[in-house]
Structure 1
């Protein structure tokens, strides 16, 4: 039996070591950062080694093409732009390809379809989104569709008009979900499978509590549920999801019951195994909320609140193996690397840090 198992173990080990994990980090550049940084990541130890960088203004959000050959950045400026880069898997460097307008101000999110030929950018300040085609060489065409949202809500200092905060495809890429922080709605669009053109879904939006400020949404990898983080009230809405429709099943705080500070929730992700939900809280909390997901009804139950060990955790992400969770603490200029206990969902500080100015987005590229 031992002789039979040994070759299998060697085969599995060689497959794991053949995988190369590259971390891609977007930063705000007002403090002198280049813009985008790449690192080679050791998925066994959690160590990260710098590989390259690319100069581009305020790449507040990034997306990687499905074939891992290209990286696209939303340049968060008054004159919003989308920038395209080619990724070199041998040395982790990025080569600038081209830049086009995002058709709005301060783009804060960008997503790509399954085929890798359509990008959708969300412009926060101007409250609109734009659809653009990606050419075979990775370059981006000027926007071919622009959708302007119009709405407001009860928080007059933050919700005086529409503010697009994300453009997220459904798991089957047939629908696009757009949290509008300004109107307290998640707008829903059908995606034309050929052209990528958007049109309102049969139920064109899902409404949340007044003043909540919907920000980011994530889908369960196996079950029909979606999870929405709400920035202004520090809450999470849980939805049953089916064929472009969101049905609310739970709304709960992303903070402990005893919390008394300012809210400022930011990011939300379901763990790769679908067992836990994580949410980042800025404001006075600076924490990662951890919830267990009921696999029958999708509802969540808190299991812990981990300090982010820094200030302003705008974004976080799991490594491709699901063993580590990396938190971008913008205002303390570093990424904190946590080890995930897959049984409890709790996080353990590895004591490993990536020093980088104003990190705000973490993405991954896996190559062989």
Structure 2
């Protein structure tokens, strides 16, 4: 099932291509794919590793490891360790698991697991590899776990419980922390709370215990009922973009030493859209020229914007349907040539027109993959 690949890909000498480099760095990457493993996920077992050839947009299966509902992944700066949330029910069974990653073989080896206070949906790791940060969507809090010298996770050193509600009586009766994103300089942590329409900002000091403290101001609000979900920074660190799940809107902020200032909010859908929204993920292209965001619900597409390099504001470019519904997380390869998008049934591969930002789908390069919900890349050297 996971190994339904093209014979031309499998016939290539993987090790030979793993050593190939060209201008601008590696052209070969390992793609780590987190999935949902619940009974309705049609047989996914955990985390899958594929090799991606960025000059051709091709994927080749490498390995897999079993773990429960690894719906979001984080990778250390040295690429030696991977952390996966176990997004189980908020009954004490949720947690986060540490893995060792072997770049030579593309295989993962489990190190240990720590329990979470709620059902986690996101994990990030600092550049110094001192701590990881998880967002417990179920539970409405974020947690900090220290990293040992061997990559293992220690017991949580800090739990920050959010409070409040939003205007949506069905989905915002309590906090739902959905992401924990570090600023480019690792001085701040920005946590989007879908349940309270807030982006909470914390000062991060890796040498302190606990390492997080409220910034000034301590939060920035988005529109009532919008449901902030994920964020990404521009490469120059001057702008941050937040996608709001419930209204399928994107807010552009200027960013300066932990302070956010709203510049613009745009709708992802046309005015005549009558369907269901479920905006999910957001990323800026490596060159900083374009922004991409996925919308699930009945839209099932990725929307493209051009970024004004002076103001940081967005201009609509195009929208592209995905092959398969429920497009959640996606990754742009560091060469800027391809986007890989996880959907309910497969991983889509799109080629990027670097001049326009528009996407061209490579249907014959997609891979069958049930409930692919998180994709991360590691350069192969």
TM-score (norm 2): 0.90
User: Can you list the C-alpha shifts for 1:107-142, whole angstroms capped at 9, x where unaligned?
Assistant: 000000011121001100100111011111111111
The one of 65, 78, 82 aligned to 1:71: 82
Question: Aligned ranges for residues 206-245 of structure 1 at < 5 Å?
Answer: 206-245=220-259
Residue 37 of structure 2: SS of its match in structure 1?
coil
2:187 matched to 1:146?
no
User: CA distance change for structure 1 residues 214 and 177 in 2, over 3 Å: closer, same or farther?
Assistant: same
User: Can you list the C-alpha shifts for 1:321-364, whole angstroms capped at 9, x where unaligned?
Assistant: 1110011012xx10000000000000001121111121000001
Residue 49 of structure 1: SS of its match in structure 2?
strand
Question: Aligned ranges for residues 176-325 of structure 1 at < 5 Å?
Answer: 176-195=189-208, 197-325=211-339
User: CA distance change for structure 1 residues 18 and 112 in 2, over 3 Å: closer, same or farther?
Assistant: closer
Question: Aligned ranges for residues 56-135 of structure 1 at < 5 Å?
Answer: 56-78=67-89, 79-102=93-116, 104-135=117-148
User: In structure 2, what is the equivalent of residue 22 of structure 1?
Assistant: 30
User: In structure 2, what is the equivalent of residue 175 of structure 1?
Assistant: 188
Distance 1:305 1:111 in 2: 29
TM-score (norm 1): 0.94
User: In structure 2, what is the equivalent of residue 137 of structure 1?
Assistant: 150
Distance 1:155 1:25 in 2: 32
Runs of 4+ in 1 over 2 A off after TM superposition: 12-20
**Cα shift at 1:17:** 8.4
**Cα shift at 1:256:** 2.3
**Cα shift at 1:193:** 3.4
1:216–1:229 CA contact under 8 A, matched in 2: yes
Give the aligned length: 354
- Listed as ranges, the gaps of 5+ residues in structure 1 are 1-11
2:21–2:27 CA contact under 8 A, matched in 1: no
**Cα shift at 1:314:** 1.0
1:134–1:140 CA contact under 8 A, matched in 2: yes
Distance 1:166 1:94 in 2: 24
Question: Aligned ranges for residues 3-42 of structure 1 at < 5 Å?
Answer: 20-30=28-38, 31=41, 32-42=43-53
Residue 60 of structure 1: SS of its match in structure 2?
coil
1:216–1:228 CA contact under 8 A, matched in 2: yes
User: Can you list the C-alpha shifts for 1:255-295, whole angstroms capped at 9, x where unaligned?
Assistant: 12332211110111111100001000011100100000011
* Range moving further from structure 2, 162-171 or 315-324: 315-324
Distance 2:177 2:94 in 1: 13
1:22–1:366 CA contact under 8 A, matched in 2: yes
1:85–1:94 CA contact under 8 A, matched in 2: yes
User: CA distance change for structure 1 residues 18 and 205 in 2, over 3 Å: closer, same or farther?
Assistant: closer
User: Can you list the C-alpha shifts for 1:169-204, whole angstroms capped at 9, x where unaligned?
Assistant: 001100000000000000000001313710000100
2:65 matched to 1:54?
yes
- Listed as ranges, the gaps of 5+ residues in structure 2 are 1-19
Distance 1:50 1:17 in 2: 22
1:81–1:107 CA contact under 8 A, matched in 2: yes
User: CA distance change for structure 1 residues 94 and 244 in 2, over 3 Å: closer, same or farther?
Assistant: same
1:80–1:123 CA contact under 8 A, matched in 2: no
Distance 1:105 1:145 in 2: 14
How large is the RMSD of aligned CA atoms in angstroms?
1.4
User: In structure 2, what is the equivalent of residue 3 of structure 1?
Assistant: none
Distance 1:140 1:281 in 2: 33
